[in-house]
Structure 1
């Protein structure tokens, strides 16, 4: 027996022309679906619990990869992400690397940007961590 979903989940990106054009994020995301997935903060930890990467782009790539691993393990895809918050210990450095970080995002997660925010923090749980990402997704 197969079941067909009458109203499949959707994620719609909303970018009003009255706002500044978004670069690397969406102003709003309207999501409908049957499950909401909350993703814990992910840093550049490897499987041994050690921070990897000595640069912000290296750590961002690992942290995003870890977030996407958790997302996929729960049955989601990058297009299901509705919200991601980036916590950085140095927002000026984050801005300086924004072009490279955007390239990493596109390579790993594609061009379906969730609603996003970047927040500067004094430090993260692991002192060596420069960046942490958390978020939520709407899954089918």
Structure 2
């Protein structure tokens, strides 16, 4: 039997039409599906004017949703990054890597960066979603 549990931590913006994280219990392990996180503060406003500032907040939000599901950065198996400007992402790659290591450590998940025209919140420059195994 498989069971789903939804996790919506109070410190993240209230979700509308999605859950911040969904965990699946099966065969002794749980899969946690993490919804896309942008640079929203707890009030639902996009914060940060630059890609690195927004990336740091979005990653913090993703890790907050994961923690609410009982996970840690090392449990991330897959992260997808959606960027409105891939050239800007590449230009800041070293800085984004430092932010990742500071917040999530050196256990990197499988990752992809996907260029998109825009995100749900027009001011958002980057969004991260992921899958973790607990």
Q: TM-score, normalised by structure 2?
A: 0.79
Which of 97, 104, 111 is equivalent to 1:109? 104
Query: Is residue 61 of structure 1 aligned with residue 56 of structure 2?
Result: yes
In the alignment, which residue of structure 1 is the partner of 2:127?
A: 132
Deviates more, 1:100-109 or 1:33-42: 33-42
In the alignment, which residue of structure 2 is the partner of 1:73?
A: 68
In the alignment, which residue of structure 2 is the partner of 1:83?
A: 78
Deviation at 1:60, TM superposition (A): 0.1
String of CA shifts for 1:13-64, please: whole Å, max 9, x gaps. Answer: xxxxxxxxxxxxxxxxxxx961000000000000110000000000000000
Which of 45, 48, 68 is equivalent to 1:50? 45
In structure 2, what is the Cα distance between the partners aligned to 1:90 and 1:131?
Answer: 9
Root-mean-square deviation (CA, aligned residues, Å) is 1.1
- Alignment length (residue pairs): 108
CA contact (8 A) 1:33 1:138 kept: no
In structure 1, what is the Cα distance between the partners aligned to 2:28 and 2:106?
Answer: 20
Higher relative contact order (CA 8 A, sep 6+): 1
In structure 2, what is the Cα distance between the partners aligned to 1:103 and 1:82?
Answer: 19
In the alignment, which residue of structure 1 is the partner of 2:118?
A: 123
Q: Gaps (5+ residues) in structure 2?
A: 1-26
In the alignment, which residue of structure 2 is the partner of 1:99?
A: 94
In structure 2, what is the Cα distance between the partners aligned to 1:131 and 1:96?
Answer: 14
In structure 1, what is the Cα distance between the partners aligned to 2:73 and 2:41?
Answer: 21
Q: TM-score, normalised by structure 1?
A: 0.76
